[in-house]
Amino acid sequence: MAFIIRLMSQEDLPQVNQIDREAFPGLWPPANYQRELKNGIAHYIVVCDQNKKYTPPAPKNDPPKGLSGLIARLRLRFNHHDHQPPPAREYIMGFAGLWLMAGEAHITNIAVRDKYRRQGIGELLLISLIEMASELDAQLVTLEVRVSNTTAQSLYAKYGFIEVGLRRGYYTDNREDGVLMTLEDIASDLAQNNLQRLKRKHRRRWGMNLRHIAPRTPAVK
């Protein structure tokens, strides 16, 4: 699979919002990624399929009725070159993000399109976030996961996350509890050696090479 992982941009928002609605249909209100891109403590990444392109839908501008509508339709017909469809963009398979606060990198979400799940994409995003947290000089990484999502809990445990608490009624869609998990001392030799070992294992299984991602520099307080 040919893909890249990079920082999220403004142009990615239509696809990111689409993936968010697919991955978290019951959560309300939906995340505002337009605002997140302006958030100085937020860092978001996307993983893209380089063999596939995404063409944004053309905006719908229905002409008015009557004479003015007829004139608008005639203009559209004879000036079609002025109404070209928007350019194709990289096809985003998934995205993830974290907030950096006082040495703590808190993973806000990891989301993958349905048809790309169970193909190592979510794990790759997790690896990328842990490496980004290290580059941002975080001391620990935290996250919440549904108590029913034992598969995700096992994945996080494999990377050294331990359960440290329970957030009652954390999820707004069904009031499910959230398990709070933490990966501590991520700069230690133990944590880094485990990360690199699992990264190599992931690459052998899925054939994915992770390109270096330069995180945004945190704003100076």
Q: Which of 156, 163, 170, 171 is catalytic?
A: 156
Q: Which of 44, 90, 144, 159 is catalytic?
A: 144
Contact 91, 53 (CB under 8 A): yes
CB proximity list for 40: less than 8 A, separation 6 or greater: 218, 219
State yes or no: is 144 an active-site residue: yes
The residues carrying an active-site annotation are 144, 156
